[in-house]
Each structure stands twice: as C-alpha cells, then as structure tokens.
C-alpha cells in the first residue's frame, strides 16, 4: 500500500474488538453499561467531595481530582467506540484520532501523578501527623495538581508535534478500539525513531519516579504502623491507606499486565482486550473501592440523600 502524507488522510479505521455483528451488539450493551456506571460513580464522588464540608481535606481533594480525570479518561475513548458500533462504521478522522491520543495520554498521565500525590499525602498524614496541616495546606495541594497538569500538557503536546511529522496510508487500519499511541506508531509509513525514543523516555521517567515515590511512601507508612503500640491506631491509620492501595494495585497491576502482554505476544488484538482493564474497568471500580471502604464517603452520601429527601 502506498504511503501518503498525513495531510491527505481522510480517515483511520478502528477495527475494534470484533467485527462480528452479534458480538458487537453484546459489546455495545456491555460498554454502554460500564460507561454509565463509571460516569455515575465518579460524578457522585466529585459531588460528595465538593458539597460536603466533612470531605474538604487534602485526601478528598485529590480523590475529587482523580474521579474527574477518570470521567475524562473514559469519555475520551468509549463514546466514539459506542457510536461506531451503533452506526456500523469503523471510521475516525485524522484530527479526531490525534485529539483522542492527546487527551488519552494527558488523562492517563494525570491518573499516574494523582495516585503518587495521594500516596505522599498518606505518608505525611501517618508519619508526620503534627505537621500535616502545615505541609499539605490548600496552596501546596493546588500547586501539586497544577504542576501535574502542566507536565502532562507539554508531554502530550510534544507527542502530537512528533505525530504530525509522520506519514500514513489512506484509510489506515488501527487494530484497537481507540487511537492508542503505540498502535499508531506501528501503522505509520515513515520513520518513527524520534517518536519511539521520546515515548520510551517519557514512559521510563513518568513510570519510574511515581512508582518509586509510592513505594517510598508505603515503606515509611508500614514502618510507622509497626512502631504503633495500639492495634486500634494501627487499624485506623491503615484504613485510610487501604482504598488507595487497592486503586494503586489495580492501576499499575493492569498496566504491567498490558506491557507484558505487548512484549510477549506482539498481538494487537490481545493488547486491545487487556487495555480495557485500565481504560474502562479501573475508572469504573475506583468510586466503589473508595465508597465501600470509607466511612467518611458513606456518611457524606447519607447526608446528601437526607438533604435531597428533605427538599422533596
């Protein structure tokens, strides 16, 4: 197939998870249900942490941002997939595809940063409780989140500028259900050496430092817990970390599985299936993990329902 400049590209073709109409009908119902649950659960977390004064603390400020990012992350990929299945088409324009890549990388990176910041927040709360309000003051919390957005803005923008230099064939097929960066680099018809170097560099830096930061935080948290004489205090301290630890394990565990799968099999179809975990399943489960294991969130939900009932 003859390679053409990106300016001549009319569309990409998203192959999706299956081309079988019967399976596509099942996938449509499944992903629509998961999308709605994700939107409802994360929107509820944002609503509770914003409206309830009991949740106006650094931990819930970061949780609110995490839920907002998860809403955006899921909204970047799933709606287009659902529209394509419903319309019986695989088309996505060049501009739409690059836009999807930009925002997906942006929000995925923000998930990574927020989980790291939340680990640091728990480290300060448990290991330096007397200085917690001084260290994690509203200004510092806001700056940490803002810095994360700025970093991901520039990283995603550089990815896009490098992508603009690549050539593709007309109606290039992408063996995925959304425009994923690595899949686009595989189907490019021009040299992707610069793109791959930047991708590996960013993955190493933005993957290594957050993981080290989280491991450092929990190492000191566990050490502090072991020094506590009261079992009640140990349970109370660890309960504030339990939900975050579950989300961290789910996020990085699924990402690690996807990476191993891509290295071991080089199968785009299998990569697409495994990537569902961190693009759909993890954002959907996060609100349930935090609400089911957290008395503060449950209490805020009860108070919200009482207010709604009183107004009715």
Per the structure, the count of domains in the chain is: 1
CATH code, 288: 1.20.1070.10
Query: 195: burial class by Cβ within 10 Å (0-12, 13-18, 19+)?
Result: buried
Using one digit for the tens of pLDDT, what is the confidence trace for 297-312?
A: 878 778 877 777 777 6
> Residue 261 domain-assigned?
yes
Residue 77 is assigned to a structural domain of this protein: yes
- Segment 23-35, tens digit of pLDDT: 888 999 999 999 9
> Quick one: pLDDT band at residue 269, thresholds 50, 70, 90?
low
Domain presence at residue 1: no
> To 5 degrees, how large is the angle CA 110–CA 114–CA 115?
120
Query: Does residue 5 sit within a domain?
Result: no
* Residue 226 located in a structural domain: yes
Mean pLDDT of 159-183: 87
Residue 162's domain comprises: 11-301
Nearest CA-CA partner of 63 in 107, 24, 115, 16: 115
**Taking phi first (over 0 means left), then psi (-120 to 50 degrees means alpha), and beta for anything else, what does residue 88 get?**
left
Residue 312 domain-assigned?
no
Q: In this predicted structure, which of 180-184, 275-279, 283-287 has the lowest mean pLDDT? A: 275-279
Residue 310 located in a structural domain: no
| pLDDT, mean of residues 267-280 | 75
Taking alpha carbons only, the member of 277, 286, 279 closest to residue 114 is: 286
What is the arithmetic mean of pLDDT over 96-107?
Answer: 94
- Give mean pLDDT, residues 27-45: 94
**Whether residue 9 has pLDDT greater than 60:** no
What interhelical angle do 282-292 and 58-86 show, nearest 10?
140
Q: Are 176 and 14 spatial neighbours (Cβ–Cβ below 8 Å)?
A: yes
């Amino acid at each position: 197939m003859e390679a053409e400049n990106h300016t001549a590209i009319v569309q990409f073709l998203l192959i999706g998870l299956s081309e079988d109409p019967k399976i596509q009908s099942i996938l449509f119902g499944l992903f629509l249900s998961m999308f709605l649950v994700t939107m409802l659960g994360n929107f509820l977390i944002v609503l509770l942490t914003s409206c309830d004064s009991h949740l106006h603390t650094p931990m819930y400020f970061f949780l609110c941002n995490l839920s907002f990012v998860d809403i955006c992350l899921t909204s970047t990929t799933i709606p287009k997939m659902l529209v394509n299945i419903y319309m019986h088409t695989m088309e996505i324009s060049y501009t739409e595809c690059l836009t999807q890549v930009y925002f997906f990388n942006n929000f995925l990176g923000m998930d990574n940063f927020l989980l790291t910041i939340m680990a640091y927040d728990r480290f300060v709360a448990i290991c330096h409780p007397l200085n917690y309000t001084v260290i994690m003051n509203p200004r510092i919390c806001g700056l940490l989140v803002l810095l994360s957005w700025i970093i991901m803005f520039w990283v995603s923008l550089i990815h896009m500028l490098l992508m603009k230099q690549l050539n593709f064939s007309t109606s290039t097929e992408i063996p995925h259900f959304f425009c994923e960066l690595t899949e686009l680099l595989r189907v490019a018809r021009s040299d992707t050496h610069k793109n791959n170097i930047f991708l590996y560099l960013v993955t190493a830096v933005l993957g290594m430092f957050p993981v080290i930061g989280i491991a450092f935080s929990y190492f000191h948290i566990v050490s502090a817990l072991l020094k506590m004489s009261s079992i009640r205090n140990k349970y109370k301290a660890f309960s504030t970390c339990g939900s975050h630890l579950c989300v961290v394990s789910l996020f990085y565990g699924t990402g690690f599985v996807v990476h191993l799968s891509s290295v071991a099999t080089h199968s785009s179809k299998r990569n697409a299936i495994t990537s569902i975990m961190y693009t759909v399943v993890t954002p959907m489960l996060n609100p349930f993990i935090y609400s089911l294991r957290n008395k503060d969130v449950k209490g805020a939900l009860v108070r919200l329902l009482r207010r709604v009932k009183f107004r009715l």
